[in-house]
Amino acid sequence: MSRTITHFETHDVRFPTSLSGDGTDAMNTDCDYSSAYVSIHTDGESPLVGHGMTFTIGRGNEIVCQAIATLATRLIGRDPEELFKSMGKTWDWMSSDPQLRWIGPEKGVIHIAAGAVNNALWDMFARSRGKPLWKLVADMTPEELVDATAFRYITDAITREEALAMLKAKEAGKEERETTVRELGYPAYVTSAGWLGYSDEKVARLTREAVAAGFNHFKMKVGADPVSDVRRGLIIRSIIDDPQYLPPGSKGRDPNSPELKGKNAGPTGAVLMIDANQVWDVPQAIEYVKSLEAIKPWFIEEPTAPDDILGHAAIRKALKPHGIGVATGEHAHNRMVFKQLLQAEAIDVCQIDSCRLAGVSEVLSVLLMAAKFGVPVCPHAGGVGLCEYVIHLSLIDYIAVSGTMERNVLEFVDHLHEHFLYPCSINSKGRYNVPLNSAEGYSIEMHEQSIAEYEWPHGSYWMKAKAQGSK
């Protein structure tokens, strides 16, 4: 059946999360979780649609929408089936406009806009095949998956031939791993209890609720004040390390088990991570994190500028004797930054972002590099829509690429899922359920009512707020 891409729509959707302190950290103190959202349409007797978005925290979201429109215009008149044949080549073409490339290249607003557009194409691809995105990719042959991956500028770290050999080596166990994860779910950790703007009482309550919900990995924000950070960390530790708060019938997990080794797990097997959101210089990061040793963190996330590869390497080296690792990646703006972080042995945990990277094809390149270097991938989520996105990416990593999820954990934040037609969900063991609806694609389609209510600046919520003189 012949189809042509005919038009697209963009929406600047913003949610007033700053009113409740959701998302607050030492760097980002005023967050209105926002979606620069695009829907791409075809003609034909059975027209296709693909939805994509990238995430911001408010002002500037309109600039991303303008960049999305500029990129999406290039798709008008194209046959989607031709694009689907090699999504790696399609990715290269989308990233190589000889004029648009100048305002990157492959970084900043133009790159995250490319993430929204490429994700929309992948969503359309998965919907056209009647599969969730993770299943579409997991079912690919090793050759097809390599053809879907972006390799430009990373062949000094991994070649197409190496990637193909890695994927073939994992192919035999794919069916068994898919069965396992469908049954168990994918391991998750919770950030919702640890926002910097929350009171101690709210932190304690949310931590108790998270333990009762089956979580055993927890993350808190740090960096504003070390005394306050230790106090808040000890509050969280006092709950997650205490068996009385475990779900009925649970004895916790063995802190000496292989999946918890080196994570500073407490007596119940609970793990605490900390996140500074880039606030420190390198020497400051080292000294500050040493002062938090009492709360026994597994890793410090984003201790310094996200582009400072050698700075992360220095921090990792200095903190290693203290048993604290380094994680980063949510603001690593392309696969080349991840390549250097891995080559420089600068990180213990690789944190991809589903739309800071420019779509699934670039994510695949980072998954492959991380697997080669033996570094676990624990994606950044939270925000709006990111949890819906990243469960697909972690499933692809486990089933087709790394073949492991024992030490991996995927971020979960309990915000704004109700705005999506196919929201992610968590089971009673604190794990993501596997998306199974054949119609959901990349799970990012937003309810029309949510767009109508929260589109900036003329959605019904924002018009009412303006009339009342407040958010």
Q: Which residues contact 328 (CB under 8 A, 6 or more apart)?
A: 301, 302, 303, 306, 312, 341, 346, 347, 351
Give the C-alpha distances (Å, rounded to integers) separating 245 from 207, 279, 429.
Answer: 10, 33, 14
Residue 193 confidence (pLDDT): 83
**Do the Cβ atoms of 267 and 255 come closer than 8 Å?**
yes
Give dist(CA 14, CA 459) in Å, integer.
9
Name every residue whose Cβ is closer than 8 Å to that of residue 201 and which is 6 or more positions away in sequence. Answer: none
Residue 380 among the catalytic residues: yes
Task: For residues 111 and 115, give the distance between their C-alpha atoms in angstroms, rounded to a whole number.
Answer: 6
Q: DSSP assignment, residue 434?
A: P
Domain ranges of the chain: 5-131+448-468, 175-432
Annotated active-site residue in 219, 263, 380, 392: 380
In CATH terms, 175-432 corresponds, of 3.20.20.120, 3.40.50.720, 1.20.1250.20, 3.30.530.80, to 3.20.20.120
Distance CA(452)–CA(367), nearest Å, equals 36
Closest of 370, 366, 426 to residue 187, by C-alpha: 426
Q: What does the pLDDT read at residue 31?
A: 83
52-70 pLDDT per residue, tens: 999 999 999 999 999 999 9
The C-alpha atoms of residue 28 and residue 39 are separated, in whole angstroms, by 29
51 is known as an active-site residue = no
pLDDT of the residue at 147: 98
Q: Matching CATH topology for 5-131+448-468 and 175-432?
A: no
Which pLDDT value is given to residue 103?
Answer: 95
The residue from 131, 170, 217, 221 that is catalytic is 221
Which pTM was predicted? Answer: 0.96
Residue 23 CB neighbour total at 10 angstroms: 25
CATH topology of domain 5-131+448-468: Enolase-like; domain 1 (3.30.390)
Using DSSP's 3-state secondary structure scheme, residue 247 falls into coil
Query: How far apart, in whole angstroms, are the C-alpha atoms of residue 403 and residue 101?
Result: 35
pLDDT at 195: 82
Q: What is the pLDDT along the chain (471 residues), one digit of tens a residue?
A: 789 999 999 999 999 988 866 555 556 557 899 999 999 999 989 999 999 999 999 999 999 999 999 999 999 999 999 999 999 999 999 999 999 999 999 999 999 999 999 999 999 999 999 999 999 999 999 999 999 999 999 999 999 999 999 999 999 999 999 999 999 999 999 998 888 888 999 999 999 999 999 999 999 999 989 999 999 999 999 999 999 999 999 999 999 999 999 999 999 999 999 999 999 999 999 999 999 999 999 999 999 999 999 999 999 999 999 999 999 999 999 999 999 999 999 999 999 999 999 999 999 999 999 999 999 999 999 889 999 999 999 999 999 999 999 999 999 998 899 999 999 999 999 999 999 999 999 999 999 999 999 999 999 999 999 998 765
What confidence tens digit (pLDDT) does each residue in 216-257 have? 999 999 998 999 999 999 999 999 999 999 999 999 999 999
Concatenating the DSSP letter of every residue in 184-228 gives H-EEEEE-TT--TTS-HHHHHHHHHHHHHTT--EEEEE--S-HHH
